Amino acid sequence: MSENKRPDPGQDTSPKSLRESNIGLIVVLFLILVVGIGSGVWWVLRNGQELLGPEASTSAPLPQPTPTQATSEPQEPATPTQVTSGPRGSATPTPPRASSRQPVPIKPRKFGDFEVKGTGSGDTVTYWTAKKDRFFIIGHLPGGSVEAYTKGLKGVKSIGGITCGTNDFGGYECFSQVHGGVGRTTMGPSGTLDELAEISRTFYEAWK
Pairing of strands 135-142, 181-188: antiparallel
Assigned domain for 36 exists: no
Buried b (16+ CB within 10 A) or exposed e, 174-184: bbbebbebbbb
The residues pairing with 177 across neighbouring beta strands, listed in sequence order, are 182
d(CA 132, CA 122): 21
Assigned domain for 83 exists: no
Cβ contact 33:39 at 8 Å:
no
Q: How many residues does the chain have?
A: 208
d(CA 99, CA 79): 31
Q: For position 106, what pLDDT does the model report?
A: 92
Query: Using CB atoms within 10 A of its CB, is residue 173 exposed (0-12), middle (13-18) or buried (19+)?
Result: buried
d(CA 108, CA 174): 19
Q: For position 14, what pLDDT does the model report?
A: 58
The three-state secondary structure class of 146 is helix
**pLDDT < 50 stretches in the chain:** 1-5, 51, 54-59, 65, 67-72, 74, 80-87, 89-90, 92-100
Assigned domain for 174 exists: yes
d(CA 49, CA 12): 53
d(CA 185, CA 176): 9
Assigned domain for 167 exists: yes
Domain count, the chain: 1
Cβ contact 185:136 at 8 Å:
yes
Assigned domain for 58 exists: no
Q: Let me know the angle formed at the C-alpha of 103 by 101 and 104, rounded to the nearest 5 degrees.
A: 110
d(CA 88, CA 160): 55
pTM for the model: 0.51
Q: For position 83, what pLDDT does the model report?
A: 45
Amino acid at 150: T
Cα–Cα distances in angstroms (integers) from residue 129 to residues 110, 141, 161, 174, 175, in the given order: 10, 24, 25, 19, 22
Q: For position 102, what pLDDT does the model report?
A: 67
Q: For position 2, what pLDDT does the model report?
A: 45
> 103-159 pLDDT, tens per residue?
889 999 999 999 998 777 788 999 999 999 999 999 999 889 999 999 999 999 999
Cβ contact 126:136 at 8 Å:
yes
Q: For position 115, what pLDDT does the model report?
A: 96
Assigned domain for 10 exists: no
Domain region containing 156 = 120-207
Assigned domain for 196 exists: yes
Quick one: the chain helix, strand, coil %, rounded to 5? 30, 25, 45
Assigned domain for 128 exists: yes
Averaged pLDDT score across all residues of the chain: 75
